[in-house]
Every structure is written in structure tokens, then in C-alpha cells.
């Protein structure tokens, strides 16, 4: 027993020394709060941006928490798709470098949504007001629910909500056709829109499908309704450069036959793209799974099957990534928990939600964890990713930025 205590003492001392060697700025040392976590270091990154490194001595945990005063007019919250393409992966560091090179100063960044092998995120995504992906239900292979998503609205309001895409194509004569998806694989007898984030070609449809694809050339906007005229008819897969505000309309089978007959060269067609519940203009949107904290309540403790979570994912200890905000919506929190390593065992979702609440998060969302878990501050990875090769390539990230002067 004495030898174990001595070993634990020297192990904690080693961790403390290691972190002090990484961060050269002066830090404040805190005493342990009642929940047995010791805040080892706290530093101010920028005005209203505070970084905490927390070590839990009892449970062997290393936690990074970033608190951001989002009401500071110098700061903006932005979502970034890897390589600006639906089907692409990059490390979070690489996406940060891209932002820094394009005229921004990235204060901090966090890996975000779950993604498929080709880099396509499984949930809805909006970046700077542009739709990167829009679906009604998650494309996750693990559940068919509407997963929770984190949103920043045009009026500055922060939300965690289960947004469902709702798109309409309105033809002359007021014929209304439902748009199933934006930038995602299509279903039979449906209409899908593709924009510049799709890449250079539209997805290949099954050989036995009748496909009708056509450019939509933008002509203007009335309130939230986009106006287009039909452009060239295209072959599938369509190899074309899509303009920033343009779309390719892709239809198949019964819908393809109908639109071939109804489209006229000089017609103005209307497109309405919304997310339900409709809170208005969404500037930034990323998905996660599941919502952990709502109104300061641990949702996982209250409902162990929320959003179709599975036991191996929810109740085993893994590396975790999360985002949340305070009750008054003035502060955003980035949070990571290292795991699958001797220095940090990870957390269950119940534990992760409790941690969020203890740190002041009133609404919190779980993001992609495991080997994806990455937090970057001032261009440096501050956590310890669990993959053997280090930082993993991921589908997207969320960042706090300010423009360089």
C-alpha cells in the first residue's frame, strides 16, 4: 500500500512537470475542488479566452477546457470542412493552417462531427451561411435518429437542436416538389441539390436508374427564397465546375421523367432551403451525438437510450470531445478528455456530462471522440490524441477566429 502511494505521488509529479515544460507562460495553481479534480494550470490566451488543464488524481484523467467570451466583437465562430469538400479529410491542424493562411487568426479549434471513411460528415453542416450537407436524418451507420446539432444563428443566438432539413423546389404554376438532400447520396424517385462543396462531379447513380441533371443558374433572391433559371442538361456523373451560388439539380426515375417534361428554358424556378425547427438564418452548424446537457441537466443520466446511443459508445470510457455554452449564452466551451492511455483513461458519457455541468456548461453536445479528439490553441495541439500515429484526419472542425489587422 505504501509503495502504491509513493508510485502515485511520483506519477502525479511527473505529469505536473511534463505540463509545465509544455506551457512556458505563467500559470495559476488552484486547490482541489470537492469533486476531487485538481486544476493544474489556467492561463489567459486572449481577452476573454481562458484555457484550463485539469488532472483528476483519483481517476487518472487529463482534461483540456477552453472558455471563450463569444460576445467579444473581435471573435467569430466558424465551421470548416476538410479541403472545402464534402468527401475529404484533413487533420484539425491542417484546417487551422488553411484559415491562418486565408487572413484569419485562429485562436482555438476543435474536431467536430462524426464522419465516414471518405470524410463525409454524417450530419448537417453549414459554414459561413453556406450549406455543406443537408439531410433529414443522420447518415450514421449506428442509428437512424435525428442527431443533435450545434448552431450559431445570424442574430448571435446559440442553439443545440435536432435540426431536420426541409427543401422545396417551386416551379411556375406553383407546383411544389420536395428536395430530399443537399450534397449527399440520393434516394430513388427523389430530387437532390449539389453545390460547389460536392466537388467536380455529381455522384454516380445506379445504371438502371433514369437520371435527369441540370444546372440551376442563380438570378436573385426574395427574402429566403432563391431564384434560378434552368441551365445546361448534364450527363450523370456530371463533370462541371459549380459556381459559388449555383446548384446542380439531380433527379431520378419518376421525378426525372416529371422534371424533364416540366422544365422550360426561360422559366424561373424557386428554391427554399430551411431547417426545422425554423429559427431563421443559420451561420454555422455542426452535428454531434448525443446532446449531453440541457438546461443544466445531465440527459444521459435521465435517459440512457437518448438519440439511440449504444452501450459500448456511451458507457465505456473513451476519449471525448464536446462543445457547450453558458446559461446566458455569453460563453462557449471547447472541452476534450484524453483516453486510451496510461495518463488518462477517458470518460463515459454520463461522466462527461457531469464534467460539463461542473464547469458551467448549461447546454452541451458530444462531438466525435476516440482517436479524433483534438484541441488546438494558438496553432498547437494541447491534448494528447490517442491514435498511435498522432493527430487523426477528420471530416470537419469548429474554430474561434478573428481577422488579422
Q: Where are the domains of the chain?
A: 2-55, 69-163+281-403, 166-276
Q: Which helix (H) or strand (E) holds 56?
A: strand 49-56
Residue 37 has a pLDDT of 55
306 φ, ψ to 5°?
-55, 135
Residue 33 has a pLDDT of 45
Which cell numbers hold the place of 114? Answer: 462524426
Residue 398 has a pLDDT of 99
Instruction: In whole angstroms, give the CA distance from residue 26 to residue 289.
Output: 36
Burial 29-48 (b: 16+ CB within 10 A, else e): eeeeeeeebbbbbbeebbeb
> How many other CB atoms are there within 10 angstroms of residue 398's CB atom?
27
Nearest to 395 by CA among 79, 142, 66: 79
Residue 341 has a pLDDT of 95
- String of DSSP letters for 94-130: HHHHHHHHTTEEEEEEEE-S-B-TTS-BSS-EEETTE
Instruction: In whole angstroms, give the CA distance from residue 393 to residue 395.
Output: 7
Residue 405 has a pLDDT of 59
Contacts of 197 (CB under 8 A, 6+ apart): 81, 84, 85, 86, 130, 131, 132, 133, 183
Residue 294 has a pLDDT of 98
Instruction: In whole angstroms, give the CA distance from residue 402 to residue 92.
Output: 17
Residue 13 has a pLDDT of 38
Exposed/middle/buried for residue 128 (C-beta within 10 Å: 0-12, 13-18, 19+): exposed
Instruction: In whole angstroms, give the CA distance from residue 349 to residue 36.
Output: 19
- String of DSSP letters for 243-295: PTT-EEEEEEHHHHHHHHHH--TT--EEEEEEEES--S-EEEEEE-S-EEEET
- The sign of the CA dihedral 118, 243, 257, 136 is positive
Instruction: In whole angstroms, give the CA distance from residue 164 to residue 167.
Output: 10
pLDDT in tens, 164-176: 999 999 999 889 9
DSSP type of residue 20? H
Nearest to 346 by CA among 386, 309, 377: 386
Residue 96 has a pLDDT of 98
Residue 209 and residue 188 in contact, taking contact as beta carbons nearer than 8 Å:
yes
DSSP type of residue 198? G
pLDDT in tens, 315-357: 999 999 999 999 999 999 999 999 999 999 999 999 999 999 9
Give the residues of the chain that fall short of pLDDT 70.
1-37, 405
Q: Which helix (H) or strand (E) holds 297?
A: strand 297-298
Nearest to 70 by CA among 156, 160, 161, 149: 156
Amino acid at each position: 500500500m505504501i509503495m502504491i502511494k509513493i508510485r502515485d505521488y511520483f506519477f502525479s509529479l511527473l505529469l505536473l512537470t511534463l505540463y509545465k515544460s509544455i506551457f512556458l507562460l505563467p500559470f495559476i495553481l488552484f486547490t482541489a475542488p470537492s469533486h476531487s479534480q485538481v486544476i493544474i494550470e489556467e492561463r489567459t490566451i486572449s481577452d476573454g479566452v481562458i484555457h484550463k488543464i485539469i488532472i483528476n488524481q483519483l481517476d487518472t484523467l487529463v482534461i483540456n477546457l477552453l472558455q471563450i467570451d463569444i460576445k467579444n466583437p473581435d471573435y467569430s465562430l466558424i465551421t470548416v470542412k476538410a479541403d472545402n469538400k464534402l468527401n475529404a479529410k484533413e487533420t484539425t491542424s491542417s484546417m487551422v493552417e488553411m484559415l491562418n493562411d486565408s487572413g484569419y487568426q485562429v485562436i482555438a479549434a476543435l474536431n467536430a462531427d462524426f464522419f465516414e471513411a471518405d470524410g463525409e460528415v454524417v450530419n448537417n453542416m453549414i459554414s459561413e451561411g453556406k450549406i455543406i450537407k443537408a439531410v433529414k436524418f443522420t447518415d450514421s451507420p449506428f442509428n437512424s435518429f435525428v442527431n443533435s446539432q450545434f448552431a450559431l444563428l445570424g442574430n448571435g443566438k446559440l442553439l443545440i437542436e435536432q435540426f431536420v432539413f426541409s427543401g422545396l423546389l417551386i416551379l411556375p404554376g406553383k407546383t411544389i416538389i420536395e428536395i430530399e438532400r443537399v450534397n449527399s447520396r440520393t434516394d430513388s424517385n427523389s430530387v437532390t441539390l449539389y453545390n460547389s462543396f460536392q466537388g467536380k462531379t455529381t455522384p454516380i447513380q445506379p445504371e438502371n436508374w433514369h437520371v435527369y441533371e441540370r444546372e440551376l443558374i442563380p438570378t436573385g433572391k426574395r427574402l429566403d427564397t432563391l431564384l434560378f433559371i434552368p441551365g445546361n442538361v448534364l450527363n450523370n456523373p456530371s463533370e462541371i465546375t459549380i459556381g459559388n451560388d449555383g446548384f446542380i439539380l439531380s433527379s431520378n426515375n419518376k421525378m426525372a421523367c416529371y422534371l424533364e417534361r416540366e422544365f422550360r428554358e426561360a422559366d424561373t424556378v424557386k428554391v427554399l432551403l430551411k431547417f426545422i425547427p425554423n429559427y431563421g438564418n443559420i451561420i454555422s452548424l455542426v452535428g454531434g451525438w448525443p446532446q449531453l446537457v440541457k438546461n443544466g441537466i445531465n440527459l444521459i443520466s435521465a435517459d440512457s437510450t437518448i438519440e439511440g446511443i449504444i452501450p459500448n459508445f456511451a458507457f465505456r470510457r473513451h476519449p471525448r470531445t464536446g462543445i457547450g455554452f453558458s446559461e446566458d449564452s455569453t460563453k462557449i466551451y471547447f472541452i476534450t478528455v484524453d483516453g486510451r492511455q496510461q495518463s488518462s483513461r477517458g470518460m463515459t458519457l454520463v461522466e462527461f456530462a457531469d464534467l460539463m455541468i461542473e464547469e458551467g456548461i448549461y447546454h452541451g453536445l458530444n462531438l466525435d471522440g476516440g482517436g479524433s479528439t483534438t484541441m488546438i490553441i494558438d496553432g498547437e495541439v494541447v491534448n494528447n490524441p490517442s491514435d498511435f500515429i498522432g493527430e487523426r484526419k477528420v471530416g470537419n472542425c469548429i474554430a474561434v477566429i478573428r481577422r488579422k489587422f
